Structure 1
């Protein structure tokens, strides 16, 4: 466990915010964005231990680092995304590139490479994606052939190519996934190794302050000591072990970028006078373009934090939860940035205001570290297995938990999301009985409904138990109002769209299905959503006028 407590974590975040305010003004960001230019000196400065030492979070204490937990790192990722997602991606590239070593490295490898990372402020890149494979690591084509000397494996010659590699042309060290004779394996390759070249920096739609480039390997020799873990064939397991963690960091990116966009819009709305008053006092403006996003942000924050705390105990696993967090938070952040442009009108469409750039940047969070379609499929597969193993009890059991929370705290809407969870269990069972998951589209949509349901449950769990998550700006009463709105709208969405899915591909009786999904009960609980949303709008105006 990390020695970084909540107070120390806030001090680190304050230091980052101060650094960004003084060293990374919007003019700097806009200039580098226009030039499609990676700010190398800035990133190196951020890595210096006497400045920020942001890279030290990922390095264990015994090797000169801070040994940050998942909670520490997601909070930093969220804060970095609020500064600039290109810069955030550049820092995250080192976090991601170090993961194979962290998960699979031998003690000797960790000691040598982590000490070098800490002392030399090495930038690291993660070399997995290939042109014909994308997120499908099984379709690996880069090869690592044995180099034999005196009957022993002396090293490997790596041949192949990678693409879309963050920090691909600027990193000092690369973790590269290649197919060895014993199976997919990770190798450490240093920049400048003969036969190893980096392609041109991509001219991207967004995150233009991050470097993205392909990698080429032409019989690149690495010694056997650079095989991570010292045993071939463990590469896919090592990659999969950290999917929960890495995808949760991208979720934090979606959350941070979305917050920055909406808060820019709120600030504008507080000062933009129209029809005798500020836009922030117009109900239609707030409930269409602003307030629903912050409700989703707080729901996402509760889920991300809950999952991070589980990963703090065990750094591996939580793959389905990581996928849920990434899917929900990045979809929320992307839509928030789009609506922030609309909220600023013509100003939002110009490069003078940050929301235009945030929208270009945040879209990548729905694509990298696994597209959100891959997330939907991953979520569906993980929870479909739970549904089958439990014989349909999985979501009914969570519904029972929500009912218990409602009995303790009836002000958070936990009873309504309990109905939604039971509706989800019914939809999944109908899909099983009618074999509807043969339709890929249905599995995608089930993944979406599952993500929404589990995030809403996590929100009710946190607020129902009186927990205010770090980084939250709201008081308990406002959070209860947010939680009620989220629970009611999520339950309605599950019951209505879930029934639609079943009816669109199956043979169920519509009236019986709507009854089984508790649709009428859920509808009856929609009372008060606009009143609660107005309360949230009022609190947003108050907070961001200060």
Structure 2
């Protein structure tokens, strides 16, 4: 179990991050770096140095760090992303890059490398992806050939964050015993970086290909000192690392939404501010805030479970990243629209945020890879429990306070169970697209349950101490009701669409329990809740501190 930072220390870190980046990267410099596609390496190193020491939050205490947990990391990553997602990527790359050591290294390796991160602020990179393999780590072609005293590595890595500025890199290569991680230091003969990529977004991060031409690596730099553990070591951290990228999507999306909210308070059209127009707020603001907060609920719940030592939670990490990255990307797109012509220009920053947050749907597993990951795991759960997995979740959610929209969230989960059962009966998951669409519906259904639990915890005062508290209990309950309605409608209607769409005969599959009519009726009161949430967002209703 990981206790992590105390609340006061976390708050100080979040405040210090904001102050430091505001001073080091004023908007004018940020836009210049974005235009010139330059990583501010000096700023990244200062952040990991004595001036700020952000790296200490990610390193265990026994190796010189502060021992932050998954919850702390999520809050820090969200804050970094709100400041600049490229900068956030550069900082986080060190902890992604050193994760194979943290989770698979020997004690001596941890003391050596994690100790250097804590004390010297060295930067790391994570050398896994290859030009031909993409997200398929099992298809790697980089080889590690045993020689006297160590190995010779040959191959190429692609899309490596911190690729040409990192002091060290964990590289995945195929050894005789199977995929294995090796630690390479910058400047090693034969180990070089290409010119940084000219990217669509996160242009303040350094991304470069790595070349390994007969690079000698001492045997002591084989992570764990045992070959063939590389994929297992990588899998062990997906739940955590994807949760952090989820926090990036959350932070980027919220920054875009907040800019749109501020803009609409001042922008007057037809004699009144845009903030007063339901057609503006209910299309471009409220739905995106709701989806972001649904993602937050799942992120926070998963972070608590990770810190409690429940395992790697790879599927939960995939759900969190899928929800937050898609919501963040959509919120940023809406923010451009919300600014009108100004949103299409660089000084208003939402154009840059949109380009930046787009990567969160790609790196650390594309949304499509995540849909497949989610669907495969929950499909197995459906089969093992003979169809009761999501029905059981529905019963648990239904017991929550009614003001959280628990009954509607339970309806969404029950409908999900019915869709899954129809797919089983019709053997429809042989269609890859059906399987991917199930991944999306599963994410929505489980998020509705998670958000209802979060709203219930807010109502009874049991939210984690370090939880985000932008919304008070009553407002959060409204957020939960809005999302539960969306999830119930989405699962009932789209579930039916793909089950029927995969059926090629005139015999319609059974839809016992889909309850589409109930999903329609559950929409009653939706506009009133959207009005309420808009009033909260614009300060027209003070529900933030209501009991």
Pick the TM interval, shorter chain: over 0.9
Map of 2:429 onto structure 1:
437
Deviation string 1:152-201 (CA, Å, 9 cap, x unpaired) is: xx201101110100000110000000000111000000000011111110
- Looking at structure 2, the residues matched to 52 and 508 of structure 1 have their Cα atoms a distance apart, in angstroms, of 66
Match of 1:523 among 495, 508, 520: 520
- Looking at structure 1, the residues matched to 162 and 3 of structure 2 have their Cα atoms a distance apart, in angstroms, of 27
Contact 2:535 2:541 in 1 (8 A): no
Alignment of 1:424-503 (within 5 A): 424-465=416-457, 466=459, 467-468=462-463, 470-503=467-500
User: Unpaired segments of 5 or more residues in structure 1?
Assistant: 149-153
Map of 1:328 onto structure 2:
323
Does 1:306 pair with 2:301? yes
Map of 1:272 onto structure 2:
267
Contact 1:242 1:316 in 2 (8 A): no
Check 1:457–1:315 CA distance in 2 against 1; reply closer, same or farther (3 A cut): closer
Does 1:39 pair with 2:40? yes
Q: In structure 2, the residue corresponding to 1:232 is in which secondary structure?
A: coil
Map of 2:135 onto structure 1:
135
Check 1:3–1:326 CA distance in 2 against 1; reply closer, same or farther (3 A cut): closer
Map of 2:169 onto structure 1:
174
Map of 1:423 onto structure 2:
415
Contact 2:500 2:509 in 1 (8 A): no
Alignment of 1:395-414 (within 5 A): 395-405=390-400, 409-414=401-406
Superposition RMSD on alpha carbons, in Å? 1.6
Moved more, 529-538 or 107-116: 107-116
Contact 1:242 1:315 in 2 (8 A): no
- Looking at structure 1, the residues matched to 68 and 486 of structure 2 have their Cα atoms a distance apart, in angstroms, of 36
- Looking at structure 1, the residues matched to 4 and 318 of structure 2 have their Cα atoms a distance apart, in angstroms, of 28
Q: How far 1:9 sits from its partner (Å)?
A: 1.0
Map of 1:98 onto structure 2:
98
Q: How far 1:510 sits from its partner (Å)?
A: 5.7
Deviation string 1:77-102 (CA, Å, 9 cap, x unpaired) is: 00000001100000110010010000
- Looking at structure 1, the residues matched to 384 and 506 of structure 2 have their Cα atoms a distance apart, in angstroms, of 24
Moved more, 312-321 or 357-366: 312-321
Q: How far 1:471 sits from its partner (Å)?
A: 2.1
Contact 2:288 2:327 in 1 (8 A): yes
Deviation string 1:257-311 (CA, Å, 9 cap, x unpaired) is: 0000010000000011112211001001000000111111111111100000111
Contact 1:502 1:508 in 2 (8 A): no
Map of 1:28 onto structure 2:
29
Map of 1:9 onto structure 2:
10
User: Unpaired segments of 5 or more residues in structure 2?
Assistant: none
- Looking at structure 2, the residues matched to 282 and 173 of structure 1 have their Cα atoms a distance apart, in angstroms, of 53
Q: How far 1:57 sits from its partner (Å)?
A: 1.6
Q: In structure 2, the residue corresponding to 1:459 is in which secondary structure?
A: helix
Q: In structure 2, the residue corresponding to 1:473 is in which secondary structure?
A: coil
Q: In structure 2, the residue corresponding to 1:241 is in which secondary structure?
A: helix
Does 1:244 pair with 2:234? no
- Looking at structure 1, the residues matched to 237 and 298 of structure 2 have their Cα atoms a distance apart, in angstroms, of 18
Q: How far 1:420 sits from its partner (Å)?
A: 1.3
Q: How far 1:472 sits from its partner (Å)?
A: 3.0
- Looking at structure 2, the residues matched to 65 and 14 of structure 1 have their Cα atoms a distance apart, in angstroms, of 19
Contact 1:267 1:544 in 2 (8 A): no
Contact 2:249 2:329 in 1 (8 A): yes
- Looking at structure 2, the residues matched to 246 and 542 of structure 1 have their Cα atoms a distance apart, in angstroms, of 35
Match of 2:151 among 153, 156, 159: 156
Number of positions where the alignment pairs a residue of Structure 1 with one of Structure 2: 536
Contact 1:436 1:505 in 2 (8 A): yes
Does 1:185 pair with 2:180? yes
Contact 2:4 2:72 in 1 (8 A): no
Q: How far 1:21 sits from its partner (Å)?
A: 2.2
- Looking at structure 2, the residues matched to 82 and 91 of structure 1 have their Cα atoms a distance apart, in angstroms, of 14
- Looking at structure 2, the residues matched to 334 and 123 of structure 1 have their Cα atoms a distance apart, in angstroms, of 28
Q: In structure 1, the residue corresponding to 2:183 is in which secondary structure?
A: strand
Deviation string 1:325-377 (CA, Å, 9 cap, x unpaired) is: 00010000000000100000000000111100000111100000011100000
Contact 2:168 2:183 in 1 (8 A): yes
Q: In structure 2, the residue corresponding to 1:516 is in which secondary structure?
A: coil
Map of 2:313 onto structure 1:
318
Does 1:125 pair with 2:125? yes
Q: How far 1:254 sits from its partner (Å)?
A: 0.4
- Looking at structure 2, the residues matched to 315 and 415 of structure 1 have their Cα atoms a distance apart, in angstroms, of 28
Q: In structure 2, the residue corresponding to 1:242 is in which secondary structure?
A: helix
- Looking at structure 2, the residues matched to 286 and 529 of structure 1 have their Cα atoms a distance apart, in angstroms, of 14
Match of 2:198 among 199, 203, 207: 203
Q: How far 1:7 sits from its partner (Å)?
A: 2.3
Alignment of 1:46-85 (within 5 A): 46-48=47-49, 50-85=50-85
Moved more, 504-513 or 324-333: 504-513
Contact 1:245 1:316 in 2 (8 A): no
- Looking at structure 1, the residues matched to 416 and 155 of structure 2 have their Cα atoms a distance apart, in angstroms, of 45
Q: In structure 2, the residue corresponding to 1:424 is in which secondary structure?
A: helix
Alignment of 1:277-426 (within 5 A): 277-314=272-309, 316-405=311-400, 409-426=401-418
Deviation string 1:403-430 (CA, Å, 9 cap, x unpaired) is: 111xxx1101111111111111111111
Q: Which runs of 4 or more aligned residues in structure 1 lie more than 6 Å from their structure 2 counterparts after TM superposition?
A: 543-546
Q: How far 1:17 sits from its partner (Å)?
A: 1.3
Map of 1:540 onto structure 2:
537
- Looking at structure 2, the residues matched to 181 and 285 of structure 1 have their Cα atoms a distance apart, in angstroms, of 60
- Looking at structure 2, the residues matched to 495 and 4 of structure 1 have their Cα atoms a distance apart, in angstroms, of 42
